[in-house]
């Protein structure tokens, strides 16, 4: 369908955000994914979150690997630069891009094949480095683009469309992310806008590595009755830890929330995140506890969603290496080149 040009008609009545932009301004090309693919809902949530936050699209860079999921950056934010890299290697490209210009917002979109198999190494290491970015996995438990092979996030008790058993243990990307030092780790479902959009919003604001594992069913290859990543299975087994609201610094807190079931977190830029916790026992600031919750639910066959782990101390790779506050890509020969004087000194040291 890519040959159909989307009409860019202006609708004067559409609501606008703080930049005076409407949702349309955050859209991308028309999706060429299968109708009903979960990934398209994730793209919509991204558009919604960026609109809500009034992010200037050109100040966001969207990066991806290879796969149906990795194609999606074409379908949102067409005023942003995009980089469709090689299979599983988006993290390294994002790392370089972020080092070059610390002032942009970095959004990575990947698939479960892209992240949990070929790119598992890069995924682990980008987390360890706490790159300042939001990393989203459209997790469908399968290799969509290569037509339905099992992926490493596919549950052991899940069957393929042809009825084959998956004999191998699955990788829980959220648990891995918590263990390796990600500061913001959430899981959600592509069909749950109410939960996904605020999570995206908060994650985009987080300074450090934010990860959202979005269960996003592949309607073509993994949405049958014996799959654990189908719409049906998910709706029956979802146990939400909570919902949240994100309130920009400039707005006063209007959202109603019940004391005792909610918590408020201030983010580095002054905005507030309000968590409506359904499960009061969940202490989301404790790594060990967060991993335990994931494990416990997995054993029960249920899928927890919501914000699973949060490190209130926001910090990123630039803090670690103490790099120039100015983006490195705007430095000039004046800042960078020690000139002939410097060379005199160096030459003398090799006499």
Ligand X SMILES: Cc1ncc(C[n+]2csc(CCOP(=O)(O)OP(=O)(O)O)c2C)c(N)n1
Contact residues toward ligand X (CB under 6 A) are 66-69, 87, 111-114, 138, 140, 142-146, 151
Q: Are 287 and 298 in contact (CB under 8 A)?
A: no
* 111 contributes a contact to Mg ion by CB under 5 A: yes
Cβ neighbours for 158, distance < 8 A, ≥ 6 positions apart: 141, 166, 226, 227, 228, 229
Quote the least distance from Cβ 238 to Mg ion, whole Å.
19
* 37 contributes a contact to ligand SF4 by CB under 6 A: yes
Cα–Cα distance between 39 and 74 in angstroms, integer? 12
For residue 57, the partner it binds in ligand SF4, ligand X, other proteins, none, with Cβ less than 5 to 8 A by kind, is: other proteins
Cα–Cα distance between 27 and 43 in angstroms, integer? 9
Residue given tokens 């263990």 in the structure block: 179
Q: 161 or 315: whose CB is closer to Mg ion?
A: 161
Q: Are 146 and 220 in contact (CB under 8 A)?
A: no
Q: What is the DSSP letter of 333?
A: H
Cα–Cα distance between 72 and 107 in angstroms, integer? 12
Quote the least distance from Cβ 334 to other proteins, whole Å.
10
Q: 80 or 110: whose CB is closer to ligand X?
A: 110
Q: Are 179 and 308 in contact (CB under 8 A)?
A: no
Among positions 136-175, residues that touch ligand SF4 (CB under 6 A) are 140, 144-145
* 39 contributes a contact to ligand SF4 by CB under 6 A: yes
Cα–Cα distance between 124 and 307 in angstroms, integer? 20
Quote the least distance from Cβ 73 to ligand SF4, whole Å.
14
| Alpha carbon of residue 304 to chain centroid | 17
Cα–Cα distance between 52 and 201 in angstroms, integer? 8
Cα–Cα distance between 181 and 123 in angstroms, integer? 12
Q: Closest residue to ligand X, Cβ-based?
A: 111
Q: Are 265 and 284 in contact (CB under 8 A)?
A: no
Quote the least distance from Cβ 330 to other proteins, whole Å.
8
For residue 114, the partner it binds in other proteins, ligand X, ligand SF4, none, with Cβ less than 5 to 8 A by kind, is: ligand X
Cα–Cα distance between 300 and 216 in angstroms, integer? 21
Quote the least distance from Cβ 174 to ligand X, whole Å.
16
Quote the least distance from Cβ 132 to ligand X, whole Å.
23
Strand partners, 77: none
* 64 contributes a contact to Mg ion by CB under 5 A: no
Q: 278 or 330: whose CB is closer to other proteins?
A: 330
Provide the angle, in degrees to the nearest 10, between the axes of the packed helices 173-180 and 287-300: 170
* 91 contributes a contact to Mg ion by CB under 5 A: no
Q: 152 or 275: whose CB is closer to ligand SF4?
A: 152
The footprint of other proteins (CB under 8 A) covers 2, 56-59, 61, 63, 73-74, 78-86, 89, 91-101, 103-104, 121-122, 124-125, 129, 317-318, 321-325, 328-333, 335-340, 342-343, 346-347, 350-351
For residue 289, the partner it binds in Mg ion, other proteins, ligand X, none, with Cβ less than 5 to 8 A by kind, is: none
Q: Are 43 and 82 in contact (CB under 8 A)?
A: no
Q: 114 or 213: whose CB is closer to ligand X?
A: 114
Token reading at 8: 């860019």
The single residue among 80, 160, 220, 230 that binds ligand SF4, judged by CB under 6 A, is 220
For residue 38, the partner it binds in other proteins, Mg ion, ligand X, none, with Cβ less than 5 to 8 A by kind, is: none
Residues lying near ligand SF4 in the complex (CB under 6 A): 33-34, 37, 39, 68, 140, 144-145, 218-221
């Amino acid at each position: 369908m890519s040959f159909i040009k989307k009409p860019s008609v202006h609708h004067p009545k559409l609501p606008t955000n703080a930049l005076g932009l409407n949702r349309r301004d955050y859209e991308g090309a028309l999706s060429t994914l299968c109708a009903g693919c979960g990934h398209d809902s994730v793209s919509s949530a991204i558009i919604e979150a960026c609109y809500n936050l009034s992010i200037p699209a050109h100040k966001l860079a969207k990066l991806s690997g290879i796969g149906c999921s990795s194609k999606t950056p074409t379908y949102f934010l067409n005023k942003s630069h995009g980089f469709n890299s090689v299979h599983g290697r988006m993290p390294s490209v994002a790392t370089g891009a972020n080092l070059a210009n610390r002032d942009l917002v970095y959004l990575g979109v990947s698939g479960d094949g892209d992240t949990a198999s070929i790119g598992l190494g890069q995924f682990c290491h980008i987390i360890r480095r706490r790159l300042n970015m939001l990393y989203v996995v459209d997790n469908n438990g399968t290799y969509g683009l290569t037509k339905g092979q099992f992926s490493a996030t596919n549950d052991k008790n899940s069957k393929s469309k042809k009825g084959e058993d998956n004999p191998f243990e699955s990788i829980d990307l959220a648990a891995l992310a918590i263990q390796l030092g990600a500061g913001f780790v959430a899981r959600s479902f592509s069909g749950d806008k109410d939960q996904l959009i605020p999570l995206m919003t908060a994650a985009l604001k987080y300074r450090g590595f934010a990860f959202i594992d979005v269960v996003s069913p592949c309607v073509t290859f993994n949405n049958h009755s014996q799959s654990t990543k189908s719409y049906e299975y998910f709706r029956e087994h979802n146990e939400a830890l909570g919902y949240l609201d994100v309130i920009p610094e400039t707005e006063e807190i209007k959202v109603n929330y019940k004391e005792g079931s909610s918590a408020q977190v201030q983010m580095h830029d002054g905005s507030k995140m309000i968590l409506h916790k359904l499960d009061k026992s969940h202490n989301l600031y404790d790594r060990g506890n967060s991993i335990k919750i994931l494990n416990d639910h997995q054993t029960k066959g249920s899928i927890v969603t919501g914000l699973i782990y949060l490190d209130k101390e926001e910090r990123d790779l630039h803090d670690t290496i103490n790099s120039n506050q100015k983006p490195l890509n705007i430095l000039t020969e004046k800042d960078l080149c020690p000139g002939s004087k410097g060379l005199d000194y160096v030459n003398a040291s090799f006499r």
